[in-house]
């Protein structure tokens, strides 16, 4: 198992949103680059970055801080999500030193895009599936679809994705533990690695 700290960017700050709600935001730091330095000093080998502004606007917003983190820590594995909806954006992040990009909304709206990007950027594509009661949400979680998380995961596993980041929206940002059953069911249904996201707040969640 690998523990991956997450840094969520909003307006250039490190924040936490409860269940993705902008009006329920807590700011932890005004220095996201310093926060990355902190995690690296504690021994992390992989970092999960989320451009929340990008997720809501549909295009990257916090590239400058993300690129600085990559430059400061060239040996750190970095995965980035939020507003990644074109090959040009993916190529830009990879050229900046990011290792994996997370396709979320675009994967739901245009599933064939995932396969195309896996062929163009093999080994660098992660799919982000955000679920509420087992159904996929998109556009910064503003819209819940009638597509199940499990069915999309099974569709994408044959495309050559590196892994799936699965976030249970009902747990995210609540600091109340993970949705173990849903995460375990998803992991059993596909052959690609599952990264559990949302609600991890203490050692027993990891255990």
| pLDDT single digits (tens) 116-162 | 999 999 999 999 998 888 888 876 566 788 899 999 999 999 999 99
Q: What share of the chain is helix, strand, coil (3-state, %, to 5)?
A: 40, 30, 35
For the segment 29-34, the average pLDDT, to the nearest whole number, is 85
Q: Which two tokens stand for residue 169?
A: 């929206």
**In terms of pLDDT, which residue wins out, 98 or 27?**
98
145 φ/ψ sector (left φ>0, alpha ψ -120 to 50, else beta): beta
State both tokens at 20.
């993705």
Residue 82 near residue 101 (C-beta atoms within 8 A) = no
Residue 18: pLDDT above 60? no
Three-state secondary structure call for residue 139: coil
Cα separation of 61 and 14, whole Å?
Answer: 14
Per-residue pLDDT at 187 exceeds 50: yes
Q: What is the pLDDT of residue 156?
A: 96
Catalytic residues: 8, 130
Residue 156 tokens, joined: 């994408």
DSSP 8-state symbol, 178: -
| DSSP state letters, 149-172 | HHHHHHHHGGGT-SEEEEEETTTT
**CA-to-CA distance for 173 and 171, rounded, in angstroms?**
6
Query: Best-predicted range by mean pLDDT among 22-36, 144-158, 175-189?
Result: 144-158
- Which comes out higher in pLDDT, residue 16 or 78? 78
What mean pLDDT comes out for the span 30-49?
A: 93
The tokens of 31 are what? 């220095």
Q: pLDDT band at residue 19, thresholds of 50, 70 and 90?
A: very low
pLDDT value at position 27?
67
Residue from 46, 41, 47 nearest 14 by CA: 47
Return the pLDDT at 54: 79
Average pLDDT over residues 56-76: 88
User: In 3D, which of 163, 161, 154, 195 has the Cα closest to residue 178?
Assistant: 195
């Amino acid at each position: 198992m690998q523990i991956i700290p997450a840094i969520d960017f909003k307006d250039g700050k490190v924040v936490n949103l409860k269940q993705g709600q902008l009006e329920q935001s807590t700011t932890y730091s005004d220095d996201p680059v310093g926060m990355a330095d902190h995690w690296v000093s504690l021994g992390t080998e992989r970092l999960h970055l989320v451009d929340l502004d990008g997720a809501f606007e549909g295009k990257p917003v916090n590239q400058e801080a993300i690129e600085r983190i990559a430059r400061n820590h060239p040996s750190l594995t970095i995965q980035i999500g939020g507003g990644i909806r074109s090959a040009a954006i993916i190529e830009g992040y990879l050229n900046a030193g990011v290792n994996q990009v997370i396709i979320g909304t675009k994967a739901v709206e245009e599933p064939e895009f995932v396969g195309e990007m896996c062929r163009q950027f093999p080994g660098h594509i992660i799919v982000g599936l955000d679920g509420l009661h087992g159904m996929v949400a998109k556009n910064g979680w503003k819209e819940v679809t009638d597509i199940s998380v499990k069915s999309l995961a099974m569709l994408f596993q044959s495309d050559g994705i590196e892994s799936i980041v699965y976030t249970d929206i009902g747990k995210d940002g609540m600091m109340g533990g993970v949705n173990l059953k849903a995460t375990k069911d998803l992991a059993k249904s596909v052959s690609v690695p599952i990264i559990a996201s949302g609600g991890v707040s203490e050692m027993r969640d990891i255990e």
